[in-house]
Amino acid sequence: MRERLKTSYRDTGRPSIDPELLLRLLLIGYLYGITSERKLIEACIWRGAASPDLYGIAGADGKGINAFPGVIFEYSAAGVESTLSTFCIGFTCPNGNGPYGNLLLDGGNLYGTTYEGGAGGVGIVYELTTAGIETLLYSFDFNVTEDGVEPLSGVIADQAGNLYGTTLGGGAQGKGAVFKLTKN
């Protein structure tokens, strides 16, 4: 397919998405019940031409209920799909429940949030290696609401490696908070 469509793409301007990758994305969206292309792009990370693996989050079962705890998946350039991490169901899941928001690829590791679970029951920030080893970076606590509760944005990183995100609730006014975490 690549060779056949090669003449349709230009060398100038913004790079085009590989047509095989686009078809893979649409298939992943169908399989995981992600019905919006915008949500599909938000849920996935493409590593680029140097390593055409695709990473993504499937955080709900597509029916709007929390019967599916969520997974982080990898879809390799060879077309092999694998699950890197599976979250558990419930507020007290130590590794979180319901991955949500963007997935950040930084320094070869993936970073993200869950809106439930962890020691405090109201979400975590995690690091996940591409080999599937998860490290809990922070657990939000319902009893320490000034830090915020239920992170729904995922995280972003600055040049120093600090992670930033937002929460749905908690904070000084009870309407959410902006948080900063140092990875090390």
Query: 111 - beta bridge partners?
Result: 104, 127
The upper half-sphere exposure of residue 46, i.e. CA atoms within 13 Å in the direction of its Cβ, equals 17
Name the token pair of 59.
């955080």
**Conformational region of residue 48, where left means phi above 0, alpha means psi within -120 to 50, and beta covers everything else:** left
What are 52-64's pLDDT values in tens digits? 578 888 865 444 4
- 71-75 and 44-46 beta bridge pairing: unpaired
pTM value is 0.74
- Whether residue 128 has pLDDT greater than 90: yes
83-112 mean pLDDT: 86
Q: How far apart are CA 108 and CA 127, in angstroms?
A: 10
Mean pLDDT of the chain: 80
